[in-house]
Structure 1
């Protein structure tokens, strides 16, 4: 599905980020590792994306293979900001150890998770929830 707007950004230390507008939703696709070396730049990028949407920010993490506590802090900040702004934050594609870290730290109490971007769009559009828990993917 083509996006309305598409931009790419490279955060330092091995994290690639692409932003696009998909209907009324901002979508950020991430690949690489989220850590102390790049979390501030990522936070700035995702806050701008969140501020640029009146509906929801979807963060596709399918390409993320590592997320430390500084990265979790980014998502905690985004969850607070989305609630304060009346928007939704949906994280998709969590897998393996990244999903386990989000699960073990209770991040799912603060944000929504869906298996992929299309599932997130479907859920946001119609309130349909997929039965797959994000941490059910063992990979």
Structure 2
């Protein structure tokens, strides 16, 4: 990860949860994509990308989320994004909340996957 983006992954309740802090922007999108794609390689479990601790997201960050969502869709893997107020506002501005299956918090995302 770059200095502006830090992340990790854990298996939780039958899914992969990727969590990030910092900024998801043009400077960090490649590292974000590489990290997530490496974590998903050969996996078929649902995926949650937790951006609740992201300080900033720009169009490049949104583009990288769309790429991961498409990759998951093509592989038949469920995909959800958790965002804070800043992330939610940015995602809704470009009307991607349905495509990214945007959730308010991790508990809601895990509950949605369990249903």
Task: Tell whether the 8 Å contact from 1:30 to 1:60 is kept in structure 2 after alignment.
Answer: yes
Q: Deviations over 1:41-80 (max 9, x none)?
A: 1011112223353121111111001001110111110111
Q: Which has the higher contact order (CA 8 A, sep 6+)?
A: 2
- Structure 2: 5+ residue stretches without partners: none
The two structures have a TM-score, normalised by structure 2, of 0.91
RMSD: 1.4
**Count of aligned residue pairs for this structure pair:** 115
| Alpha-carbon shift at residue 86 of structure 1 (Å) | 0.2
Q: Deviations over 1:8-65 (max 9, x none)?
A: xxx1132110111113211011111111111101011112223353121111111001
Aligned to 1:26: 16
| Alpha-carbon shift at residue 97 of structure 1 (Å) | 2.6
| Alpha-carbon shift at residue 98 of structure 1 (Å) | 1.9
- Structure 1: 5+ residue stretches without partners: 1-10, 127-139
The two structures have a TM-score, normalised by structure 1, of 0.76
Larger Rg over CA atoms = 1
